[in-house]
C-alpha cells in the first residue's frame, strides 16, 4: 500500500527510487548532494575528511530498509511495537500520507522558496534537531527539554532558535507551515484548506493581507475583495 500511494503521488520519482541503489548513488555522488539536498562532502574540508564522508554516505545507501524504518520510528517517538514492526517488513507510512491537501500545498510552496543549492551537513542537522524538538513540544514530551539543552551545549541551538521553536510548537501546524509564505501564496493554501483549517488561518492571513495591501496599493481592489472573503468566513 505504501508503494501504491507513492506511485499515485509521484510515479516518475518513485520509479527512479525503485531502481538499483547504484544508479541513484552515482547521481548523488556526482552532484554532491543526497536525496534531501544536503551536501555529501564539504569542499572546504581536508581530503581525508571528504573521502570519509563519501564512503560513509555510500555505506548508508545499502542500509537495510528495516533498519531505516526502526530509526525513523525512534525519531518519531513511536511505541515499542511501532519500532519492532519494520523488522517484519511493516514500514512507517510516509509523513505526507496523513497530511491534508492544504498542508501539502503549504509544504510545496515553502520548498519552492528555499534557496537553490545544497545544504551543509550543519544546516541539515540543525533543521532535523529543530523538527525533533518542535514535535516533542507538541506532544508535551519531557525529552524536549533534554534535546534543547543538548542542542545548546553542542552550539547548534541558540536562545533565539529556542524561542522560535517554542512559538512554532504552540501554533497550529497549518499556521506554522504558512509562516514564511506571502499573501498570494497563503491564498493558495486557503483554497485547499478545510473549514477547520480556514478558521485557524483566518487571523494570520488577514495580517498578511493587510501588509500586502500596504506594499501593493495597485492591487487594492483585488486584495480588499480577498480580505473581505477571509474576514467574513465563519465556521
pLDDT tens string, the chain, 235 residues long: the values are 777 877 787 787 777 667 767 777 887 888 887 766 778 888 888 889 889 889 888 888 777 777 777 777 776 666 777 777 777 777 766 767 788 999 999 998 987 776 656 567 788 889 889 988 998 999 898 989 999 999 999 999 999 999 999 999 999 999 999 999 999 999 999 999 999 999 999 999 999 999 999 999 999 999 999 999 999 998 7
Domain that holds residue 158: 117-174
12 & 68 share domain: yes
In a domain, 162, yes or no: yes
Q: Can you list the alpha helix ranges (DSSP code H) found in the chain? A: 2-9, 11-17, 21-31, 47-61, 65-76, 80-84, 101-113, 121-138, 143-153, 159-169, 173-177, 183-192, 195-215, 220-231
Neighbours of 7 (CB within 10 A): 14
Residue with cell 543538548: 150
| pLDDT of the residue at 26 | 84
6 & 90 share domain: yes
Number of domains in the chain: 3
35 & 83 share domain: yes
Contact 189, 181 (CB under 8 A): yes
86 & 38 share domain: yes
In a domain, 126, yes or no: yes
69 & 126 share domain: no
27 & 55 share domain: yes
In a domain, 23, yes or no: yes
| pLDDT of the residue at 134 | 92
Alpha carbon distance 13, 11 (integer Å): 6
189 & 170 share domain: no
Going by C-alpha positions, the residue among 75, 86, 72, 82 that lies closest to residue 141 is 75
154 & 192 share domain: no
In a domain, 107, yes or no: no
| pLDDT of the residue at 36 | 64
90 & 9 share domain: yes
Amino acid at each position: 500500500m505504501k508503494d501504491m500511494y507513492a506511485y499515485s503521488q509521484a510515479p516518475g520519482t518513485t520509479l527512479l527510487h525503485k531502481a538499483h541503489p547504484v544508479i541513484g548513488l552515482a547521481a548523488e555522488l556526482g552532484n554532491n548532494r543526497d536525496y534531501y539536498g544536503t551536501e555529501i562532502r564539504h569542499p572546504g574540508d581536508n581530503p581525508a575528511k571528504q573521502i570519509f564522508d563519501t564512503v560513509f554516505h555510500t555505506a548508508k545507501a545499502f542500509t537495510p530498509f528495516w533498519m531505516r524504518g526502526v530509526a525513523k520510528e525512534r525519531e518519531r517517538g513511536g511505541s515499542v511495537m511501532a519500532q519492532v514492526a519494520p523488522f517484519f517488513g511493516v514500514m512507517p507510512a510516509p509523513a505526507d500520507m496523513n497530511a491534508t491537501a492544504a498542508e501539502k500545498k503549504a509544504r510545496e510552496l515553502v520548498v519552492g522558496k528555499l534557496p537553490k543549492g545544497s545544504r551543509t551537513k550543519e544546516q541539515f542537522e540543525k533543521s532535523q534537531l529543530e523538527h525533533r524538538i518542535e514535535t516533542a513540544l507538541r506532544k508535551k514530551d519531557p525529552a524536549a527539554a533534554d534535546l534543547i539543552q543538548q542542542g545548546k551545549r553542542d552550539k547548534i541551538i541558540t536562545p533565539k532558535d529556542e524561542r522560535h521553536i517554542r512559538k512554532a510548537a504552540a501554533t497550529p501546524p497549518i499556521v506554522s507551515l504558512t509562516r514564511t509564505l506571502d499573501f498570494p501564496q497563503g491564498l493558495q493554501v486557503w483554497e485547499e484548506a478545510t473549514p477547520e483549517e480556514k478558521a485557524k488561518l483566518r487571523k494570520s492571513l488577514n495580517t498578511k493581507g493587510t501588509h500586502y495591501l500596504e506594499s501593493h496599493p495597485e492591487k487594492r481592489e483585488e486584495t480588499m475583495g480577498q480580505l473581505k472573503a477571509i474576514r467574513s468566513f465563519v465556521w
